[in-house]
């Protein structure tokens, strides 16, 4: 049973509506349960804390959610507001990319110093790389470290079949981004910034790309704009100049897989050496998301077997075989 001090702090922060304090105490409770080897309870508590699907609890986030602009044609929200849960210790990046992320955070932490010299923190970042390599997670981590809500732009809602309506939706999104200090993620950005010289594309798309370029040029808001794409080769050449920083995220190296496994298996008992398992090659060619999915599969195998939650190399190997079969089925489609 959790100690009385933490429970009192949890209730006090909850009734006061102090979300940051509530999350901090909740993390302490989860860590305490893990120390007692109550791993199933700790996992359940983490699911409740990080896997919530209901609307954000804090009044500020509720107010922000209510202010989300809508598409005039279908009355669909153009963005979704998320409370970022994962911190910089939860993401595994290359040394170069980690340094760039820390530099961006440092600029915002010293924004007052930069403004005193007529400068401002980097406000436009482009994330490139194949699916599952941590682009969305990186955006979430940056939002968490800055203490800002993460706003994900819904490309399917922004793009309209009506002439000129897509540009109007984009204007609403940029105006929304300028209204509050947020981290705004344009996922699948190539849908909005595709090469204008592509002969297969129609004139409306060219007008959309022109609008994106103009809005990026004119943007002077308080939010950090992050664009993410799996297909950077499709982007218009003029797009690149609008972003101050570009991060290329790639599939993890063996050393990064080791680091990722240690992050994902924090507090979980295991009967293997992480490096030895990675050296067997079962994670070769896997993305960050693939590795995370294999870990989840392995944990399910242990839990459903009725055994004590103590992960073995065999559990990971079985999960890897299932993941390989899943990939083969997907490639045959």
Every domain of the chain with CATH number 3.40.50.300 lies at: 59-248
Q: Which two tokens stand for residue 200?
A: 């297969």
pLDDT confidence tier of residue 52, bands split at 50, 70 and 90: very low
The CATH label, of 3.90.1300.10, 3.40.50.300, 3.40.50.10860, 3.40.309.10, for the domain at 59-248 is 3.40.50.300
Q: Which two tokens stand for residue 76?
A: 């669909």
Element (H, E) at 139: helix 135-146
Write out pLDDT tens, residues 100-134: 999 999 999 999 999 999 999 999 999 999 999 99
User: Which among 184, 238, 243, 242 is positioned nearest to 206, based on CA atoms?
Assistant: 238
Q: Where is pLDDT greater, at 220 or 328?
A: 220
Instruction: Report whether 166 contacts 158 (CB < 8 A).
Output: yes
Every domain of the chain with CATH number 1.10.8.60 lies at: 254-327
* CATH of segment(s) 254-327: 1.10.8.60
Q: Which two tokens stand for residue 11?
A: 């209730």
Q: Model pTM?
A: 0.79
Instruction: Please state the rounded mean pLDDT for residues 30-36.
Output: 73
Write out pLDDT tens, residues 135-180: 999 999 999 999 999 999 998 888 876 767 888 999 999 999 999 9
Q: Which two tokens stand for residue 122?
A: 């980097």
User: Which among 171, 265, 245, 149 is positioned nearest to 215, based on CA atoms?
Assistant: 171
β-strand pairing of 79-82 with 150-153? antiparallel
Spell out where 208-261 has E strands: 224-229, 245-248
Q: What percent of the chain has pLDDT over 70?
A: 86
Instruction: Please state the rounded mean pLDDT for residues 206-218.
Output: 91
Instruction: Please state the rounded mean pLDDT for residues 186-195.
Output: 89
């Amino acid at each position: 049973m959790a100690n009385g001090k933490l429970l009192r702090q949890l209730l006090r922060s909850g009734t006061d509506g102090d979300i940051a304090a509530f999350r901090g105490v909740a993390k302490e409770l989860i860590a305490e349960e893990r120390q007692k080897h109550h791993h199933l309870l700790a996992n359940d508590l983490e699911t409740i804390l990080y896997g919530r699907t209901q609307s954000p609890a804090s009044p500020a986030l509720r107010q922000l959610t209510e202010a989300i602009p809508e598409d005039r044609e279908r009355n669909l929200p153009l963005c979704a507001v998320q409370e970022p849960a994962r911190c910089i210790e939860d993401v595994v990046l290359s040394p170069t990319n980690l340094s760039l992320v820390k530099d961006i955070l440092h600029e915002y932490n010293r924004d007052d110093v930069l403004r005193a010299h007529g400068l401002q923190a980097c406000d436009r970042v482009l994330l490139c790389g194949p699916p599952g390599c941590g682009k969305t997670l990186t955006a979430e981590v940056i939002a968490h470290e800055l203490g800002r809500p993460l706003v994900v732009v819904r490309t399917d809602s922004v793009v309209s079949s009506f002439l000129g309506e897509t540009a109007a939706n984009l204007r609403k999104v940029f105006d929304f981004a300028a209204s509050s200090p947020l981290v705004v993620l344009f996922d699948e950005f190539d849908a909005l910034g595709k090469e204008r010289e592509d002969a297969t594309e129609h004139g409306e798309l060219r007008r959309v790309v022109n609008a994106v370029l103009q809005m990026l040029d004119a943007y002077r808001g308080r939010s950090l704009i992050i664009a993410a794409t799996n297909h950077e080769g499709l982007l218009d050449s003029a797009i690149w100049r609008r972003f101050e920083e570009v991060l290329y995220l790639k599939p993890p190296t063996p050393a990064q897989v080791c680091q990722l496994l240690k992050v994902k298996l924090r507090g979980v008992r295991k009967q293997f050496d992480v490096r030895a398992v990675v050296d067997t090659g079962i994670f070769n060619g896997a993305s960050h998301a693939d590795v995370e999915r294999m870990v989840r599969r392995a944990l399910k195998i242990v839990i459903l077997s009725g055994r004590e939650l103590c992960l073995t190399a065999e559990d990971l190997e079985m999960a890897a075989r299932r993941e390989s079969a899943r990939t083969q089925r997907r490639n045959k489609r």
